[in-house]
């Protein structure tokens, strides 16, 4: 089979799958929607990693403003901790990742019953994948709003296409625009900057997957070089398999913060004035808390996830294989699908990063530790 034949066969199979799943979703919507029994709960499905949870906050702000105490957020426990940094009166349904079966993709019967027990008046799905789609099957509610993948659109009363333009904040806020087309995301995405001139700089060497992580030897050199002038600490989860490499920093008198819980991570970030890291959750949490950040990007397009505000900078090595305009990731889906060598990180040399970080520290007027 030639490449063209393979492509056409793939397209045909995809259309068949889309038609089949669409028919099943249509039947489910006919059976389930419009049967609320007078409940006022507004359910939000937000099943995300830490960084994307931060990107949903403007949407949650709008929905909280509109629905108040009736709002219920179904999310992972660590996502709830992020929301609690902004809101003090949200209601939560905690989802244990062990309740997602078949490789974490499909909700278990117990989880589906937990969600059904809410009997929500309406659902706002900020996830839009098979995770959340499996929770919507058989759920009796008046309306379901979302930005779903194409296979599950017929589960929703109202939906919009998944955008290909940045920022990810806008992707989630598109759900708001289904009920308030005039809503201005700029009114909800701002964080109060906390620019301090003396304090601790954190470096987070790890990310959600390897392709996002800068070479550990270069990270170590950056930590050692900056620690000659500033109060610097490496931070990562205790028992992280890669953490042993950075013991060299501790043995040479450097500081390492090993967190035992998500709460400890939050507290350490709160006590810092600057965070250097990859495209990862801790960096976006720091941005949300108003702390200045410097991002080392690799196989993802910075324009989709740039921290909001003027107290943030980044560096990225652009190569032939880097993400094209209108694409969030490179052709290997950010290194998750077989990148052979992570050249975007390997070709990013220490001197480039160190120089840009030092320039930004000077711009922020961050003082050396003995100043």
Domain ranges (residues) in the chain: 3-187, 200-363
CB 166 within 8 A of CB 301: yes
- Give the pLDDT of residue 121: 93
Burial 302-341 (b: 16+ CB within 10 A, else e): bebbbbbbebbbbbbbeeeebbeeeebbbeeebbeeebee
pLDDT tens, the chain, 371 aa long? 443 333 333 344 444 334 434 444 555 555 556 655 667 899 999 999 999 999 999 999 999 999 999 999 999 999 999 999 999 999 999 999 888 887 777 888 889 999 998 899 999 999 988 889 999 988 889 999 999 988 888 889 999 988 888 899 999 999 999 999 999 999 998 888 888 999 999 999 999 888 888 999 999 999 999 999 999 999 999 999 999 999 999 999 999 999 999 999 999 999 999 999 999 999 999 999 999 999 999 888 888 999 988 899 999 887 778 888 888 888 888 877 888 778 778 789 999 999 999 999 999 999 998 76
Q: Whole-angstrom Cα distance, residue 296 to residue 293?
A: 10
Q: What is the pTM of this model?
A: 0.87
Q: Whole-angstrom Cα distance, residue 318 to residue 333?
A: 16
Record: fold of 3-187:
Rossmann fold (3.40.50)
- Residue 167: is the preceding peptide bond cis (ω within 30°)? yes
Q: Which CATH class is domain 200-363?
A: alpha beta
Residue 114 phi, psi (nearest 5): -60, -40
200-363 has the same fold as 3-187: yes
Between the alpha carbon of residue 152 and those of residues 133, 161, 209, the distances in Å are: 7, 11, 27
Q: Whole-angstrom Cα distance, residue 333 to residue 257?
A: 31
**Strands of 272-278's sheet in order across:** 255-259, 231-237, 200-204, 272-278, 292-297, 312-316
């Amino acid at each position: 089979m030639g490449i063209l034949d393979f492509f056409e066969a793939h397209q045909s199979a995809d259309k068949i799958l889309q038609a089949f799943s669409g028919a099943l979703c249509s039947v489910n919507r006919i059976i389930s929607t419009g049967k609320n029994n007078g409940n006022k709960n507004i359910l939000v499905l937000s099943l995300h990693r830490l960084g994307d949870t931060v990107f949903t906050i403007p949407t949650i702000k709008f929905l909280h403003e509109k629905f108040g105490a009736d709002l219920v957020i179904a999310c992972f426990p660590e996502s709830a901790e992020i929301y609690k940094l902004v809101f003090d009166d949200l209601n939560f349904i905690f989802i244990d990742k062990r309740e997602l079966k078949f490789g974490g993709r499909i909700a278990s019967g117990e989880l589906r019953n937990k969600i059904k027990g809410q009997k929500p008046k309406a659902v706002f799905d900020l996830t839009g994948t098979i995770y959340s789609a499996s929770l919507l099957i058989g759920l009796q509610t008046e309306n379901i709003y979302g930005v779903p993948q194409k296979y599950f659109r017929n589960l929703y009363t109202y939906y919009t296409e998944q955008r290909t333009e940045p920022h990810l904040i806008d992707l989630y806020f598109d759900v708001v625009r289904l009920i308030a087309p005039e809503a201005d995301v700029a009114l909800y995405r701002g964080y109060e900057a906390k620019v301090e001139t003396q304090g601790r700089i954190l470096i987070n060497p790890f990310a959600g997957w390897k392709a996002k992580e800068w070479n550990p030897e270069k990270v170590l050199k950056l930590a050692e070089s900056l620690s000659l002038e500033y109060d610097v600490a490496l931070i990562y989860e205790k028992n992280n398999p890669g953490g042993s490499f950075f013991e060299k920093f501790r043995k040479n008198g450097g500081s390492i913060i090993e967190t035992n819980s998500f709460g400890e991570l939050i507290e350490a970030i709160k006590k810092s004035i600057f965070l250097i890291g990859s495209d990862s959750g801790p960096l976006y949490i720091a941005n949300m808390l108003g702390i200045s950040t410097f991002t080392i990007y690799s196989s993802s397009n910075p324009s989709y996830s740039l921290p909001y505000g003027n107290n943030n900078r980044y560096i990225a090595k652009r190569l032939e294989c880097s993400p094209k305009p209108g694409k969030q990731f490179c052709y290997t889906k950010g290194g998750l699908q077989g990148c052979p060598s992570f050249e975007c990180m390997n070709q990013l040399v220490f001197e480039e990063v160190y120089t840009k970080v030092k320039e930004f520290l000077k711009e922020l007027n961050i003082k050396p530790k003995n100043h």
